[in-house]
Amino acid sequence: MSSEAKDDKIFKALANGLRRRMLDVMKAAPQTTGGLCHLFAEVDRCTVMQHLKVLENAGLVLVTREGRERWNHLNALPIQKIHDRWISHYAGHAMNVLGALQAQLDK
């Protein structure tokens, strides 16, 4: 799979608010699928599982199994790669523009 296709999966996964909230919960600690279903009771178990599958396919969630439990762990590495490739590059440019604007205002 090309790096562009991988990035597309990550951006798609992060585009949904519920999935971002799920990642926020997993940032604090790994969660069982049942635990996530309990925390996001506004949607049914099937919907939680579908969202977890999108996150897993994007590489944002790593799954381990302990007996009957499925543990979902945040994998922040793809987000870091997106940051390094896209966000930090544009943030640096934005800071340069703001710095030049501030210098003009200070004159």
Q: What is the pLDDT of residue 104?
A: 82
How big, in percent rounded to 5, are the helix, strand and coil portions of the chain? 70, 15, 20
Q: What is the pLDDT of residue 87?
A: 76
Token couple for 80: 């870091």
* Rounded CA separation 92/58 (Å): 26
Tens digit of pLDDT for each residue in 65-84?
A: 999 999 999 999 999 988 88
Token couple for 57: 């396919």
Tens digit of pLDDT for each residue in 1-29?
A: 677 888 899 999 999 999 999 999 999 99
**55-83 as b/e, with b when 16 or more CB fall inside 10 Å?**
beebbbbeeeeeeeebbbebbeebbeebe
**Owner of token pair 């562009």:** 4
CATH of span 3-76? 1.10.10.10
